[in-house]
Homo-oligomer: A and B are copies of this chain.
Amino acid sequence: MKAIAVTPGAGVPEIVERPVPEPSAGEALVRICRVGVDGTDYEVIEGSHGGVPEGEEQLILGHEAVGIVEDANGTDLEEGQYVVPTVRRLPAGVERNEYFDNGEPDMAPEGEYVERGIVGAHGFMAEYVTSPADCLVPISADLAPLGFLVEPISITEKALEHARATRSAFDWEAESAIVLGNGSLGLLTVAMFTETLEYDRVYCLGRRDRPDPSIDIIERLGATYIDSRETPVPEIPTAYEEMDVVYEATGYAKHAFESIEALAPNGVAALLGVPEDWEFDVDGGRLHRELVLHNKALVGSVNSNRRHFERAIDKLSALPEWALEDLVSGVYGLEAFDRAFPEATASVAAGGHGSATPADDDTTIKTAVEFEGI
């Protein structure tokens, strides 16, 4: 079968031939339909995040997938059922640990998990994959074409669940919320904020010039676009308002600290970016004092579990079709799979390394590779 693999750090992904995998007991065989591409894939491609399975040189990419059960293999799944796979698995040779036992692999510390398509385990960009049946979340046929958006939505589900938990010891109602970052995760989150949550006012920070399709989506959703080149994060309270919720999806480390200044009293910032080391100056005294005197919270969040996937499927069905259509700028078959990775391709053409920052071309927002039509 065909799969899309990469030697991390070595340039662009390529199509490789692999044997069709055989499901073990408790596993099903899934025929993959579509797999989304996101910033983490670019980090894996350039070698700054993640890693190949032990003893191998290449990693099959892909962690945002939707497929169809080809062989239920005696599990409770039904053949022909569309499913979305979760991402974390037990490391090879490990039979169980408390996090997986609890249904919370997203809370497992390093070393106690692998992530398919990211670190230590092959991903879903292949014609067939196998997976434990309890890591395959059923999705209806009408939602299946956009099923590759379930994983990123589940990431936001988890982050918001944890953010809300930080504020659960007192009476709190969030009215204003900002998403830092207008990449595909940021835009999906803006849509969740405006369409499925009760925030009165939603903002999204980016640094792109108009006309821009991401700004169009933000504004059609009823949110306010803030250009970070005109209004740096610490100035947002003066220029707009203090934010009850900050959702950081840029990976830009200064934003983690500047969030404290953008927050309203009793507010919470959810951090999702994974920056590299970077030393810089902060007014640590002021930030510390702000956190304390205004009861503010910061919460980091990574990955998501089956519960978040299930809720993400509900959310997907509640998002407006036009927004999802505008968000997904391209779904490409295997013959044109490289168009799903425009940043990697552009980077190689320019002789440089890839970059996890959003593509600079005007039209790409979210891409996917199609292995099998839906």
Contacts and interface: CB of A to CB of B under 8 A. Distances in A.
A280 B279 contact: no
B280 A282 contact: yes
Interface in A57-105: 102, 104
B274 A109 contact: no
Interface stretch (A132-140, A167-175, A341-349, A359-367): A167-175
Contact of A289 (B106, B165, B274): B274
Contacts of A107: 170-172, 265-266, 295
A132 B115 CA distance: 57
A302 interface: yes
A328 interface: no
Contacts of A162: 166, 169-170, 295, 297
Contacts of A295: 106-107, 162, 299-302
A298 B297 contact: yes
Interface stretch (A143-151, A212-220, A250-258): A250-258
Interface string A321-337: 00000000000000000
A281 interface: yes
B253 A271 contact: no
Contact of A275 (B164, B273, B288): B288
Given A102-B171, A166-B166, A285 B292 contact: no
Interface string A263-289: 011100001111111111111111111
Nearest to A285: B278
A340 B281 CA distance: 39
Interface string A94-134: 00000000101011011000000000000000000000000
Given A109-B266, A109-B294, A296-B300, A285 B253 contact: yes
A292 B279 contact: no
Contacts of A257: 282, 284, 288
Nearest to A251: B288
Interface of A: 102, 104, 106-107, 109-110, 161-162, 164-172, 253-254, 256-257, 264-266, 271-302
A132 to B, nearest CB: 20
A263 B24 CA distance: 38
B273 A283 contact: no
Given A256-B288, A285-B276, A168 B171 contact: no
A243 B108 CA distance: 16
Contact of A285 (B170, B275, B284, B290): B275
Given A171-B102, A297-B166, A274 B292 contact: yes
A342 B282 CA distance: 34
Contact of A166 (B110, B165, B287): B165
Nearest to A109: B265
A283 B275 CA distance: 11
Contacts of A273: 288, 292
Given A102-B170, A253-B284, A291-B299, 11 more contacts: A110-B294, A162-B170, A168-B168, A253-B287, A271-B288, A274-B292, A279-B283, A282-B282, A292-B300, A292-B302, A297-B297
